Chain A
Amino acid sequence: MEMTDLLAMAPPCILPAECEQTLAENGLTLTTADLAMLGQARTEALRESGRVELGETILPALAEALAPSPYVSRTDLAQTLADLQAIFYELKTAGERWIDRALLTQMMNYFNGAAGGSVRQCADLCLMRLREEA
């Protein structure tokens, strides 16, 4: 079985009700089209980072962590999530020892702090931290 076959069988991106509620509490929402785009972006990001994700996805945790950020708005939520999702998988591959929760916390600390809402800078800072810890 090729990994692409596995990815094709991965469940679609669905947000649990509590995640939708967190977004709503912060004045944010994701449309069906947004979720479809995020699903496609996820497949692409997993392929590029050489990873497989079959059961739960990281998207709900990412969306909940991002919801209170001052650097996200209703208009760019989906794209920011897609970008953060991509660097999340990239960073997981670079630092396999980081568990999801720790990496998410680290990413959001940089995103909301030193990176000032820049996804790329957030990724660079996380990578620097990874190298320091290596």
Chain B
Amino acid sequence: MSEIIQTGGGGAQAALPAILVRLLAEQLHRLTRGESTSVPAQTAEEVLSSLCFILGLNEDPAGDNRRALLAAPDKSAWLDDRVAALRRRVRSARRLFLAVRDLLPGPRCRALADTMRSLDAFGRAYDPRFAAHLVPCDMDYQLVEMPPEHLQGVDYVHAWLRALLMETDLLRRFPETAVTAALHRLSPDWRAELMGLYSPVADMALGLCLLGEDPRPLCITPAQQAALCHMLARNDESTLRQRLAGASAGCCAALGVQQRETAAYLGRYAETVALRLAVGETRGVFHL
């Protein structure tokens, strides 16, 4: 944040720190309802972080948001517009949440159930004016692709739900009994463990597709395991990548995946599996 303030440069950019301080003063006045001229430094720091997030100054490599703020004739109105935009984004996150919730298949671990419960309350807990950069949720469920760390507030929740939607879109295509059985084989206590459901299911499906089998049963027999071992032995990284990319495409075709994002998500996951196999990290992959 200090860079935002200190890299003002010359000309109009030099006005940025003073604008931020004035907007921060307005925010603090609003926060205290005008009943306190001062606040604890920690509160001021949090509100300043929120302000920078609202104004889009944290992730602004080309300086577009900075220039827009400097050019806005009424900075307070500009801030209000940005807060209104965040409220719209919260509503969009809510719609995304409901879409994921409707798609979620039956088998759920505790971490997923807890995270969904927490996300259900996100809209009520989120403060798009004074704590817009924070995520007031417990999100313990492990996704294969966690959102980038630089994302904050509703942007983080949006990206997180988007990734969960991709995972859910794949998981829902398998018979629930097959999913439950596959997870149980991995760990009888899978519901209580802090593990994602996508990875073990996708591993199984990719393994079966490598063998040219239907991925839906999610069960690899000892004979199939031996065949996989034989197939993957002495493959270099490039070959493994090719094989896994083919398995990923095969899996999407077999499951009728239409969504490009879902297919791309599985494709990226398959690439990580290829890398794990290439460095000899076979433990856990296809239960080898």
Contacts and interface: CB of A to CB of B under 8 A. Distances in A.
Do A and B pair up? The answer is yes
Q: Which of B2, B41, B43 has the most CB of A within 10 A?
A: B41
Tell me the interface secondary structure of chain B in the complex.
Answer: helix
A96 B40 contact: yes
A54 B37 CA distance: 8
Contacts of A6: 21, 24, 44, 48
B44 A52 contact: yes
A99 B32 CA distance: 9
Contacts of B18: 9
Interface stretch (A32-40, A55-63, A74-82, A126-134): A55-63
B36 A55 contact: no
Interface in A91-115: 92-93, 96, 99-101
A53 interface: yes
Contacts of A92: 36, 38
B135 to A, nearest CB: 22
Nearest to B28: A54
B44 A9 contact: no
Contact of A55 (B4, B28, B42, B43): B28
Nearest to A99: B35
Nearest to A60: B37
Nearest to A52: B44
A5 interface: yes
Interface in B9-25: 17-18, 20-21, 24-25
Contacts of B125: none
Contact of B37 (A2, A53, A93): A53
B149 to A, nearest CB: 21
A2 B40 contact: no
Contact of B40 (A5, A57, A93, A99): A93
Given A6-B24, A54-B21, A1 B5 contact: yes
Given A46-B38, A100-B37, A1 B1 contact: yes
Nearest to A61: B37
B38 A89 contact: yes
B64 interface: no
Interface residues of A, number: 25
Contacts of B281: none
A53 B43 CA distance: 11
A1 B48 CA distance: 9
Nearest to B45: A3
A50 interface: yes
A51 interface: yes
A110 B25 CA distance: 31
Nearest to A93: B40
Contacts of A93: 40
Interface string B22-61: 0011101100000111111111110010000000000000
Q: Which of A1, A9, A100 has the most CB of B within 10 A?
A: A1
A58 B38 contact: yes
Contacts of B44: 3, 6, 52, 54
Interface in A1-20: 1-3, 5-6, 9-10
A57 B48 contact: no
Contact of B39 (A5, A52, A56): A52
Interface of A: 1-3, 5-6, 9-10, 46, 50-58, 61, 89, 92-93, 96, 99-101
29 contacts: A1-B4, A1-B17, A1-B20, A3-B41, A3-B44, A5-B5, A5-B17, A6-B48, A9-B17, A9-B18, A46-B38, A50-B42, A51-B38, A51-B40, A52-B40, A52-B41, A53-B37, A54-B44, A55-B26, A55-B29, A56-B29, A56-B37, A58-B38, A89-B38, A92-B36, A96-B40, A100-B35, A100-B36, A100-B37
Interface of B: 1-2, 4-5, 17-18, 20-21, 24-26, 28-29, 35-45, 48
